[in-house]
Amino acid sequence: MRFLLSTVVLLTSVIVSSAGDIPSIRKGDRIVFLGDSITAGGVGKDGYVTLIKNEIKAKHADLGIEIFGAGVSGNKVPNLQKRLEKDVLAKKPTVVVIYIGINDVWHGEKNPANGTSPEAFEAGLRDIIGKIQKTNAWVVLCTPSVIGEKTGGGNSLDAKLDEYSAISRKVAGETKSQLCDLRKEFADHLKTLNKDNKAFGILTSDRVHLNGAGNRFVAEKMLKVLVK
């Protein structure tokens, strides 16, 4: 796959220990992708989780890396907290990729009570990450991507998504988790490719859920974080 280039060439390297180090996946890893409907779709035939799994299996089957999807449609941070033990920790992961935040913002558009407050969002992320790190697994925390693909702040929830993305960046830094800044990656990509300023159709099928190009894009960005 051209979009992945040679991002898995260094799969066997191990970088651990000090706070400034960036980990890399290694032999025997068990990777769980935790999230909402975007991650649930990611385990489909052409989904980003499957693309990552297939690429690693094709090039480094000898490493015996196992990959699991743990996405549930409609989930927000509080939902992840409730099912963390059953859907994630019970699998004994060594790496957990958290891609969450869209519904925390989106569900509160008409009624804030249906979303997640910034305070609860931050506290929930810290709780989830803390419990994962207690098992000695390392965490990749993604910023929420898009609710609409218009550029230049043209989507109604852009400001709110930027606020929650800033929280995710802060939490990633303070918990020494690895950041995958999808919010920034999507914005930069759309600024270049969305010349007609469409609301969807570049990386998403409906403003939120990934289309084929979007799944390939997310797989590429996550692999660059996972593999050093």
- This prediction has a pTM of 0.89
Residue ranges, the chain, pLDDT below 50: 1-20
The C-alpha atoms of residue 6 and residue 3 are separated, in whole angstroms, by 9
- pLDDT of res. 89: 98
Rounded CA separation 124/120 (Å): 6
What angle, 0 to 180 degrees and rounded to 10, lies between the N-to-C axes of helices 212-226 and 48-60? Answer: 50
Q: What are phi and psi of 34, to 5 degrees?
A: -110, 130
Q: What is the pLDDT of residues 93-128, one digit of tens each?
A: 999 999 999 999 999 999 999 999 999 999 999 999
Q: Are 10 and 24 in contact (CB under 8 A)?
A: yes
Distance CA 165, CA 176 (A): 16
What domains lie within the chain, and their CATH numbers? 2-226 (3.40.50.1110)
pLDDT one-digit tens code per residue, 189-212: 999 999 999 999 999 999 999 999
Helix 77-87 × helix 118-133 angle, to 10°: 20
Given a contact cutoff of 8 angstroms between Cβ atoms, the answer to whether 99 and 39 are in contact is: yes
Q: Centre a 10 Å sphere on the Cβ of residue 43 and count the other Cβ atoms it contains.
A: 17
- What pLDDT sits at residue 22? 58
Cα(71)–Cα(52) distance, rounded to whole angstroms?
A: 15
